[in-house]
Chains A and B, each alone.
Chain A
């Protein structure tokens, strides 16, 4: 005989005063728990990437956790920051959302997102299992706010075949060599060997720039949040100037406004070098997408230290979810754990992204997963990638960085387009930084 589930309303559940106790006693909203609960609705806010995969992952989650219903809303990557700000400010229902290190401090300072570890004691247990750069990106004021949706590096890629055809034996080690090799390629008929992803509204630009600065061993700001690029000999200023000169002096650089166009442009064979999120190498070397699949390789980020920017994009719990009550928090915790964490010794979602899309992962155990290694080896030199991964580091963040990035990109595109000088652009960026720092009380 089938048992009739006992139905509890949220109000009666909370009013009983046992919500928190029961939530702790019901670590999973699995089928047994779900049968005793009213379905909990969770609003999940993401940027558009692999939305069909996300929906399928949600479907799998629903099968395991029928007591939790996920409503997905997705917005373009370009406008994710401002849409999220407006969404959170206007209290549009949002319980779990994607976030990144460059926006975490801003959202946390505004009180829109909350530390995961304040609600789930199992979160800290992941610290040793997550790459340090990815962990650092999720921590603000010593509290961990998320678990990785993915963690990746921004790397230097080149077309090995084009270099070989031009008699270039190995990829550039420094940015000066990038110029030299580009000029050599240009002399042989390639108009713009370096392809830059550049648009004033694209967050990628800021992150890619940081990665190239890291290659020179630099940083954007010091430990007191003071800008370092005001010194013309700083790695940041030098790298900024490199991009401007590459476009206007050496004329070796052209640009596209997003990553999709960049993959298409690189696949035409008209460009040899690019800095992109590492997972785009999987697209470049995918025969279904590129006529030149197999020609693209990763090299260590040019520069003195070859470091690169390693980051984490992660699942964040919102204050709105907390305000809705313990059953929502608990459901969100299960959702985040399923999507980012370990389930029966596996990391099913992170592994799926890695195997199917080449998307990087934050959890170390996947590094040795044979399926992941087999999938990665189809599109990247795993040893070289491992070497670059060991040199990846997170960047320093501030609460005003999200807004400043917008202003910085505007100055950057103007300088690359020759509308303003390097000096004026860097000074304007510093002025904007200092003004925001002052406004935020930094």
Chain B
């Protein structure tokens, strides 16, 4: 009897819920379910971005009262020599670091897809550099590359490969190369793992059939592996472009943006403008420019690519 009462009590609410769901529809229910996450993202992403937009149009300094300056901050930072240099350095770094990282990741994923002793241990160990904070990566590589007493110079000298130490960190081009190496070392593990997963999902029968047809290894890679992993490869490449574009910690610890400004990228310049020069308005303007540039680069790349590259040929 009591159960019946309870069941009876529930009926109206269930009806309301069902009615509500009908009113909301699938779309509305979906919106309702993602709303908490959206609110969280809004709190931690959209609000700071909005604040940055607000700051970027104001003179914001710890020492003076803030005031509206319109687009002056944007005009000032874009017009400065430092900005032009930082853009050039950022693009150069991205152009160098991304292909090298993606290629190394691809080769490693193919290697780890093969059966050999120690493969499992190698896969686990490979993730270690990725687990390290980027600033630690920078410091570790600084000890490797230091001109006077870095491990690489000492090693090369002791082995008789060089007769004098190489100016890794005080020569602009070599310093850029050092940052690329450190970036690659930090980023390759994740990229290689993602690509390895994609490689492992390629049906083995395809390789068997190709082998029966006498296809060489390079042909099998070109005609089977590459098309199959293409969507993952695209995503990994886009991710690496974003990471390269926003690299900060490694240069901060490894080169301090030097020699001169040879490794001063937009993110380092933004940080310096905000937190060293204490010009938060200009720093915010720079941060917005970096964000917009990132979005622009990704959008252009996505639009330029055929759909098959993103979704896979099978679809």
- A→B interface (CB under 8 Å): 79, 81-82, 85-86, 89, 106, 109-110, 191, 195, 198-202, 254-257, 261, 264-265, 267-268, 270-271, 403, 406-407, 410, 413-414, 416-419, 439-440
Contact = CB atoms under 8 A, between A and B. Distances in A.
Contact of B272 (A110, A201, A270): A201
A198 B276 CA distance: 16
B277 A403 contact: yes
Closest 4 CB pairs between A and B?
A417-B260, A265-B148, A199-B256, A406-B276
Interface stretch (B21-29, B50-58, B163-171): B163-171
12 contacts: A85-B62, A198-B258, A200-B258, A200-B264, A254-B148, A257-B169, A268-B149, A403-B278, A410-B82, A414-B261, A417-B259, A419-B85
Query: SS class of chain B's interface: helix, strand, loop or mixed?
Result: loop
Interface in B10-39: none
Contacts of B277: 403, 406-407
A439 B172 CA distance: 35
Contacts of B275: 79, 82, 86
B262 interface: yes
A91 to B, nearest CB: 12
B62 A268 contact: no
Given A200-B272, A201-B276, A406-B272, A86 B62 contact: yes
A257 B260 contact: no
B257 interface: yes
B164 A254 contact: no
Name, among B63, B85, B165, the residue most crowded by chain A CB atoms within 10 Å (CB to CB).
B63
Contacts of A86: 62, 275
Contacts of B146: 256, 261, 264-265
A440 B260 contact: no
A89 B21 CA distance: 51
Given A201-B276, A406-B276, A419 B63 contact: no
Contacts of B167: 254
A416 B165 CA distance: 20
A201 B261 contact: no
Contacts of A110: 62-63
B174 to A, nearest CB: 13
Interface residues of B, number: 30
B182 to A, nearest CB: 15
Interface string B75-86: 000000010010
Contacts of B165: 191, 270
B278 A85 contact: yes
A81 B63 CA distance: 14
B257 A200 contact: yes
A353 to B, nearest CB: 27
B44 interface: no
Contacts of B164: 191
A79 B256 CA distance: 12
B62 A89 contact: yes
Given A256-B146, A419-B262, 13 more contacts: A85-B62, A199-B258, A200-B256, A200-B257, A254-B170, A255-B170, A257-B169, A264-B146, A265-B146, A265-B147, A413-B258, A418-B260, A439-B63
B64 A414 contact: no
Contacts of B63: 106, 109-110, 439-440
Interface string B245-285: 00000000001111111101000000010011110000000
A441 B284 CA distance: 25
A201 B62 contact: no
Contacts of A270: 148, 165
